[in-house]
């Protein structure tokens, strides 16, 4: 992938964040998501790539834009696979809460696992603990191995997770071992980035979240030389085993089988993102632990973007000032 593509990709998440901002705190996550999707697609189609969405907004039947299999870009240039989450934290956006981001990951063709939209158990660490994780072992064994690799006692270890009832037991267990737990309401991609960033106080991420978010996280883990292991979990193993959830679970297993993936089997980082020639871009929508949110003052908007290019392992923080009246008309129609 040509080097300049990274900068062009950062414009995609900037546009999505600006579009989402209009809907921050307005209570409708679907409208917010729709605006971010439209903005993302608009900019993607201006870029010289032969891109295919492999992690997106769903199948063609239920997602009019950025559906899985959709081709984006001018068709000229690098053939790439693209994983998008136009709003990672739709509920936070709708409720005006912190930590919502727009994210995208781009890789060479065929490098991302085409994971179905189901739950995924994820364990992520940064470079210094990359050899310490094994999802076949217990959480306690993993925490001890990570602490040992980092040369610190368990009570100096910090784990990010999602504050969901399904994690109550794990959170209690970790806290019982003395581990400090940051349980955020939503948004495990940003937390995954923090687990791998050299200047972050988060040592690991452990949670059950979305598989699409897991693949996007794998891209950034790859780029930052961390490690990740994961397991796809059918819905009844995560939610109440109601009739509906059992039916969904059976569909998920069938999807996985069709893709040649075994549910509940440990997936390594190499299976999730096959090499580190990836581009990852995230722009803050609302202010968060990782990024500043969008701020608009009259015709001026500022955004903060984290842009990571795996090949060179360059991490850029880009603070942009946008003169909104100079944007092209199609983008203005989405943003205003
Ligand atoms: O809301 P659930 O079902 O617990 O799913 C968890 C997933 O939802 C999120 O918290 C938010 O995702 P969206 O905003 O894209 O829906 C993800 O970060 C996480 O992986």
Q: State the complex-level ipTM.
A: 0.95
Give the separation between CA 336 and CA 334, rounded to whole angstroms: 6
Mean predicted confidence (pLDDT) in 230-251: 96
pLDDT of amino acid 155: 97
Nearest residue (CA) to ligand 1, atom 4: 209
For residue 21, name the pLDDT band (cuts at 50, 70, 90). very high
Summarised one tens digit per residue, pLDDT across range 65-105 is: 999 999 999 999 999 999 999 999 999 999 999 999 999 99
pLDDT of amino acid 336: 87
Q: Residue 297 C-alpha to ligand 1 middle, in angstroms?
A: 30
pLDDT of amino acid 38: 97
H or E stretch at 106: strand 101-108
Does residue 88 have its Cβ closer than 6 Å to ligand 1? Answer: yes
pLDDT of amino acid 59: 85
Give the separation between CA 125 and CA 147, rounded to whole angstroms: 11
Does residue 304 have its Cβ closer than 6 Å to ligand 1? Answer: no
Q: Which atom of ligand 1 is nearest to the CA of 189?
A: 18
Mean predicted confidence (pLDDT) in 211-235: 97
pLDDT of amino acid 64: 85
Q: Which atom of ligand 1 is nearest to the CA of 185?
A: 10
Q: Which residues pair with residue 124 across a beta bridge?
A: 205, 228
Q: Which residues pair with residue 84 across a beta bridge?
A: 104
pLDDT of amino acid 78: 94
For residue 119, name the pLDDT band (cuts at 50, 70, 90). very high
Contact yes or no for 201/158 (Cβ under 8 A): yes
Q: Which two tokens stand for residue 63?
A: 């997602």
Q: Residue 86 C-alpha to ligand 1 middle, in angstroms?
A: 13
Q: Kindly state the percentage of the chain with pLDDT values over 70.
A: 100
Q: Residue 186 C-alpha to ligand 1 middle, in angstroms?
A: 6
With 90 as the cut, is the pLDDT of residue 63 above it?
no
Give the separation between CA 122 and CA 20, rounded to whole angstroms: 27
Give the separation between CA 289 and CA 10, rounded to whole angstroms: 19
Q: Which atom of ligand 1 is nearest to the CA of 120?
A: 20
Does residue 226 have its Cβ closer than 6 Å to ligand 1? Answer: no
Mean predicted confidence (pLDDT) in 253-274: 95
pLDDT of amino acid 16: 98
Does residue 164 have its Cβ closer than 6 Å to ligand 1? Answer: yes
pLDDT of amino acid 46: 96
**DSSP characters over 264-332:** TSPEEHHHHBS-S-EEEEEEESS--SSS---EEETTEEEEEEEEEETTTTEEEEEEEEEEGGGS-HHHH
Does residue 209 have its Cβ closer than 6 Å to ligand 1? Answer: yes
Does residue 57 have its Cβ closer than 6 Å to ligand 1? Answer: no
For residue 263, name the pLDDT band (cuts at 50, 70, 90). very high
- Of 210, 211, 216, 240, the residue with max ligand 1 atoms within 8 A of its CB, to mutate for a pocket test, comes to 210
Q: Which long-range contacts (CB under 8 A, 24 or more apart) does 34-40 make?
A: 35/334, 36/86, 36/87, 36/102, 36/285, 37/65, 37/66, 37/86, 38/65, 38/334, 39/15, 39/86, 39/331, 39/334, 39/335, 40/12, 40/13, 40/15, 40/16, 40/66, 40/84, 40/86, 40/102, 40/104
Does residue 33 have its Cβ closer than 6 Å to ligand 1? Answer: no
Does residue 214 have its Cβ closer than 6 Å to ligand 1? Answer: no
Give the separation between CA 204 and CA 114, rounded to whole angstroms: 24
Question: CB count, 10 Å around CB of 59?
Answer: 12
Q: Residue 72 C-alpha to ligand 1 middle, in angstroms?
A: 25
Q: Hey, which bits of 109-157 come out as E strands? A: 119-125
Summarised one tens digit per residue, pLDDT across range 122-163 is: 999 999 999 999 999 999 999 999 999 999 999 999 999 999
pLDDT of amino acid 62: 81
Q: Which atom of ligand 1 is nearest to the CA of 91?
A: 14
Contact yes or no for 112/223 (Cβ under 8 A): no
With 90 as the cut, is the pLDDT of residue 29 above it?
yes
Mean predicted confidence (pLDDT) in 185-210: 96
H or E stretch at 216: helix 211-223
Q: Which atom of ligand 1 is nearest to the CA of 214?
A: 20
With 90 as the cut, is the pLDDT of residue 61 above it?
no
Q: What is the mean pLDDT of the chain?
A: 96
Summarised one tens digit per residue, pLDDT across range 274-317 is: 999 999 999 999 999 999 999 999 999 999 999 999 999 999 99
Q: Residue 3 C-alpha to ligand 1 middle, in angstroms?
A: 31
Q: How far is CA 252 from CA 67, 188, 189, 258, in A?
A: 18, 21, 22, 10
């Amino acid at each position: 992938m040509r080097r300049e593509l990274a900068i062009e990709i950062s414009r995609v998440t900037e546009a999505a964040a600006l579009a989402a901002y209009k809907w921050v705190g307005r209570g409708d996550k679907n409208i917010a998501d729709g605006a971010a999707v439209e903005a993302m697609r608009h900019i993607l189609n201006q870029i010289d790539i032969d891109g295919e969405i492999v992690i997106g907004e769903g199948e063609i039947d239920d997602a009019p834009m950025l559906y899985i299999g959709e081709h984006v870009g001018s068709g000229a240039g690098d053939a790439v696979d693209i994983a998008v989450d136009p709003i990672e934290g739709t509920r936070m956006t709708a409720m005006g809460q912190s930590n919502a981001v727009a994210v995208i990951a781009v890789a060479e063709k065929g490098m991302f696992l085409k994971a179905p939209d189901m739950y995924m158990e994820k364990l992520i660490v940064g470079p210094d603990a990359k050899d310490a994780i094994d999802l076949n072992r217990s959480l306690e064994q993993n925490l001890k191995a990570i602490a040992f690799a980092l040369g610190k006692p368990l009570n100096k270890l910090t784990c990010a997770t999602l504050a969901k009832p399904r994690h109550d037991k794990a959170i209690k267990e970790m806290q019982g071992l003395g581990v400090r737990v940051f349980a955020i309401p939503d948004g495990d991609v940003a937390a995954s980035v923090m687990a791998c960033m050299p200047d972050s106080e988060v040592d690991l991420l452990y949670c059950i979240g979305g598989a699409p978010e897991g693949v996007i996280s794998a891209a950034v883990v790859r780029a930052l030389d961390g490690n990740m292991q994961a397991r796809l979990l059918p819905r009844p193993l995560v939610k109440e085993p109601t009739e509906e959830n059992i039916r969904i679970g059976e569909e998920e297993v069938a999807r996985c089988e069709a893709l040649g993936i075994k549910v509940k089997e440990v997936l390594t980082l190499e299976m999730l993102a096959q090499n580190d020639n990836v581009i990852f871009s995230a722009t803050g929508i609302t202010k968060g632990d990782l990024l500043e949110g969008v701020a608009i003052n009259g015709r001026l908007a500022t955004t903060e973007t984290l842009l990571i290019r795996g090949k060179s392992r360059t991490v850029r923080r880009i603070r942009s000032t946008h003169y909104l009246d100079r944007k092209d008309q199609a983008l203005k129609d989405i943003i205003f």
